[in-house]
Amino acid sequence: MSELSFRKIELSDKFQARELLAKSGFRGCEYTFGNNFVWRDVYKVEICFFEEFYFVKQLEGEDTRFLYPAGNGGTQRAVELIDEYCRENGLEPRILANKDKAAEVERLLPEFIARPVRDYYDYVYFADDLSELKGKKYHAKRNHLNRFAENNYSFEPIDDANIADCIELNRRWCEENIDVDDNGKLEEQVVVRESLKHYSELDYIGGLIRVNGVCEAF
């Protein structure tokens, strides 16, 4: 019988999950508790804490997948636990891992084959590129920013006093931009609403921009 028992993720899991995520040091949006929590309804996220590992199971359509576990412990043990769970539940074992861990899984367990999936890539930018916008590559963005700067605008951190303005802006944006048949945007809006609803509890940090005193971006 599999030693893993998955259940729906809850806010009360935040501290234990973050402790194990920090020990792993994995870089990627999936390796944050906030991401796991706000996508819980869209991807049917379930978790399991076992042997100093934090296991995350997701469902997209008919595709069940597991994040490479965060925490303490060896690669072989972690993958064998997932493989055992999948065999008992009639699932094909699919594990999302970074390049280094994927290579390690292939080396230790040759029956696993690593392949890149472009849809799961994160966007990574150099901070200096975005803060300075130097060079021909960013010419259009500099012009766009300069035009915006002509407005009467202001910036402020998001907090309990102004988060309602973000919620209202998001409602207006949805009415103007989302078609009822656009499942992708509808799912993203579930995540945006959950993020705003639990903003303080998830310790999020963000800001909003006002133009002529009206919230126009966050």
pLDDT tens digits, 34-70:
999 999 999 999 999 999 999 999 998 788 999 999 9
Q: pTM score, two decimals? A: 0.89
Torsion sign (Cα): 179, 180, 186, 192:
positive
Residue 217 corresponds to which tokens in the numbers above? 């971006």
pLDDT score, position 53: 94
Contacts of 215 (CB under 8 A, 6+ apart): 162, 165, 166, 168, 169, 208, 209
pLDDT score, position 106: 86
Q: Which domains occur in the chain, in start order?
A: 7-120 (3.40.630.30), 150-217 (3.40.630.30)
φ and ψ of 148, to 5 deg: -65, -35
Q: Which of 75, 43, 72, 74 is nearest to 56 (CA)?
A: 43
Q: How confident is the model at residue 206 (pLDDT cuts 50, 70, 90)?
A: very high
pLDDT score, position 88: 94
